[in-house]
Amino acid sequence: MKAEHYVDGAFVSAGTVFPVIDPVTGAGSGSAPEATREVVDAAVRAGRAALKGAWGSAADGERAAALRAVADGIDARFDEFVDAEVRDTGKPRELAATVDVPRAAGNFRAYADLLYGRGERAFTTAVPGWSGGSGQALNYTVRRPLGVVAVISPWNLPLLLLTWKVAPALAAGNAVVAKPSEETPSTATLLASVINDAGLPAGAFNLVHGHGAGAAGEFLTGHPGVDAIAFTGESATGAAIMRNAADHVTPLSFELGGKNPALVFADADLEAAVEGTARSSFTHSGQICLCTERVYVERPVFDEFVSRLGDRARALKDYGPMISAAHRDKVLSYYRLAREEGATVVAGGGAPVFGDARDGGFHVEPTVLTGLPPTARTVREEIFGPVCHVAPFDTEDEALRLANDSPYGLAATVWTRDLSRAHRVAPRVETGIVWVNCWNLRDLRTPFGGVKASGIGREGGEYSLDFFSEPVNVCIQI
């Protein structure tokens, strides 16, 4: 597919063109234009103009109707979206068809609904002896959009994570300039086409393609006309964006990397814990920020757990690739590092040979490691591949200490049949999200985000609408 920018209600192909690669085979599958500073500037100006025009004065009901039209438009072109997402990411078709694309439409519907659930508090005030009048007042709060917001998204769930931010930003009345990952520009371009057909006013949504550092991403996040930045990606990129945005004190919402722990207690349903951990470590070949990379298992069931998880990993045959050759090389370098650090490789640990066109692609084997100390780089650094390290523990406190010994704090899973233990442990895990006896069971109204190097702020439901708007207090003396 030939991706295009979408600026001020028109598709534009300005800029040099870079290739898009199908990671399953390594062959070229399309192209995208690299946005220059001028293209980014035009997109931000278009956003500003839209806020002064029809989009800025659209009532809640009109914006909700627009969001529903976008959701319907995604549904109407469902197969096209699935095809494009599979081609760009190499993820299994079933995943795109059951998660990514339905969730994208769901994001627009959820925020259309949530618009009507919003309300603010009011206070009647009395200040005895106030010399400026009656000293009695009614205070109430209204919310207004932030303005032009930049949305920067990664390649792992391209459409899901883009719409996860675009939908609430538009719902709150902002104009958006979105930049998807350079690896996966296709579904964003289809989304622009759907938004165009849905009849949103020109400039309400703009799309620019291109790379990050020294390119479109940096031009956008350092732009003085951008009023807020919502970013999902690596923690190091978040830090670079923060530095770039510092001069304009631009508000930020950050969803960053993770090194997510699973805590498996001896009282857990072991089969469910093994199955759940296999899902949480190997879904989308580990390329989901919520994937488990550290597993802590209570000693009495450690050997059995490791043996069964190893079997699961070896049984996986039809898995997707890493997004790029560079990412494949990074993951394989961690497989080598793990060995150098003294790991036992229980399963995987290399790159597969399929004997077909996939050998030109970027696959790595699902991998289970044991035997490393908590200080090993393999146990501390985000790998973002289909790999986990499993270590034993003896007490609840030790499990928590190991789980919390991390620079990251995005998501955790706890496997236990003891309800009291679940309630005791879950709030003490230093992550923004804790799943008990499940993984990645999502309700779009719940707060989503991480602590420590995993992010700043929360998105989801009201939390997104709060970020994408600001409260203004009005005090009327009565």
**What is the 3 state secondary structure string of the chain?**
CECCEEECCEEECCCCEEEEECCCCCCEEEEEECCCHHHHHHHHHHHHHHHHCCCCCCCHHHHHHHHHHHHHHHHHCHHHHHHHHHHHHCCCHHHHHHHHHHHHHHHHHHHHHHHHHCCCCEEEEECCCCCCCCCEEEEEEEEEECCEEEEECCCCCHHHHHHHHHHHHHHCCCEEEEECCCCCCHHHHHHHHHHHHHCCCCCCEEECCCCCCCCHHHHHHCCCCCCEEEEECCHHHHHHHHHHHHHHCCCEEEECCCCEEEEECCCCCHHHHHHHHHHHHHHHHHCCCCCEEEEEEEHHHHHHHHHHHHHHHHHCCCCCCCCCHHHHHHHHHHHHHHHHCCCEEEECCCCCCCCCHHHHCCCCCCEEEECCCCCCHHHHCCCCCCEEEEEEECCHHHHHHHHHCCCEECEEEEECCCHHHHHHHHHHCCCCEEEECCCCCCCCCCCECCEECCEECCECHHHHHHHCEEEEEEEEEC
According to CB under 6 A, which residues from 40 to 69 bind ligand 6OD? none
- The partner in contact with residue 361, picked from ligand NAD, ligand 6OD, none with C-beta cut-offs of 5 to 8 angstroms by kind, is none
Per annotation, catalytic residue among 289, 365, 382, 430: 289
Name the segment binding ligand NAD (CB under 6 A); options: 146-154, 269-277, 312-320, 412-420. 146-154
Closest separation in Å from C-beta 411 to ligand NAD:
8
According to CB under 6 A, which residues from 322 to 361 bind ligand 6OD? none
Q: Rule CB under 6 A: say whether 248 interacts with ligand 6OD.
A: no
Closest separation in Å from C-beta 323 to ligand NAD:
7
Residue of 89, 153, 156, 370 that binds ligand 6OD (CB under 6 A): 156
The residue among 221 and 406 lying less far from ligand NAD, judged by its C-beta, is 221
475 is catalytic: no
Backbone angles phi, psi at 148, to 5 degrees: -95, 120
Q: Rule CB under 6 A: say whether 152 interacts with ligand NAD.
A: yes
Q: Rule CB under 6 A: say whether 372 interacts with ligand 6OD.
A: no
Residue of 164, 282, 302, 384 that binds ligand 6OD (CB under 6 A): 164
Residue type, 372: L
Closest separation in Å from C-beta 7 to ligand 6OD:
26
Residue of 255, 293, 430, 466 that binds ligand NAD (CB under 6 A): 255
CA distance readout (Å), 381 to 235, 254, 342, 408, 450 = 11, 19, 16, 9, 16
Count of residues in the chain:
478
Q: Rule CB under 6 A: say whether 167 interacts with ligand 6OD.
A: no
Q: Judge whether 4 and 189 are in contact, CB under 8 Å.
A: yes
Q: Rule CB under 6 A: say whether 231 interacts with ligand 6OD.
A: no
- The partner in contact with residue 24, picked from ligand NAD, ligand 6OD, none with C-beta cut-offs of 5 to 8 angstroms by kind, is none
Closest separation in Å from C-beta 290 to ligand NAD:
7
Closest residue to ligand 6OD, Cβ-based?
289
Per annotation, catalytic residue among 182, 255, 365, 430: 255
According to CB under 6 A, which residues from 266 to 305 bind ligand 6OD? 288-290
Name the segment binding ligand NAD (CB under 6 A); options: 119-127, 215-223, 334-342, 417-425. 215-223
Q: Rule CB under 6 A: say whether 234 interacts with ligand NAD.
A: yes
How crowded is residue 244: how many other Cβ atoms within 10 Å of its Cβ?
A: 19
According to CB under 6 A, which residues from 369 to 428 bind ligand NAD? 382, 384, 410
Q: Rule CB under 6 A: say whether 179 interacts with ligand NAD.
A: yes
The residue among 84 and 410 lying less far from ligand NAD, judged by its C-beta, is 410
Closest residue to ligand NAD, Cβ-based?
212
The residue among 288 and 338 lying less far from ligand 6OD, judged by its C-beta, is 288
Q: Rule CB under 6 A: say whether 35 interacts with ligand NAD.
A: no
462 is catalytic: no
Q: Rule CB under 6 A: say whether 408 interacts with ligand 6OD.
A: no
Name the segment binding ligand NAD (CB under 6 A); options: 44-52, 124-132, 254-262, 349-357. 254-262
Calpha distance 300→464 (Å, rounded)? 43
Q: Judge whether 383 and 331 are in contact, CB under 8 Å.
A: yes
Q: Rule CB under 6 A: say whether 24 interacts with ligand 6OD.
A: no
The residue among 184 and 370 lying less far from ligand NAD, judged by its C-beta, is 184
Name the segment binding ligand 6OD (CB under 6 A); options: 13-21, 153-161, 181-189, 366-374. 153-161
Backbone angles phi, psi at 34, to 5 degrees: -90, 120
Q: Judge whether 107 and 67 are in contact, CB under 8 Å.
A: no
Q: Rule CB under 6 A: say whether 158 interacts with ligand NAD.
A: no
Cross-strand bridge partners of residue 261 = 294
State the residues that interact with ligand 6OD by CB under 6 A.
156-157, 161, 164, 288-290, 442, 448
State the residues that interact with ligand NAD by CB under 6 A.
152-156, 161, 179, 181-182, 211-213, 217-218, 221, 232-234, 237, 240-241, 255-258, 289, 382, 384, 410, 450, 454-455
Task: Show which residues are catalytic.
Answer: 255, 289
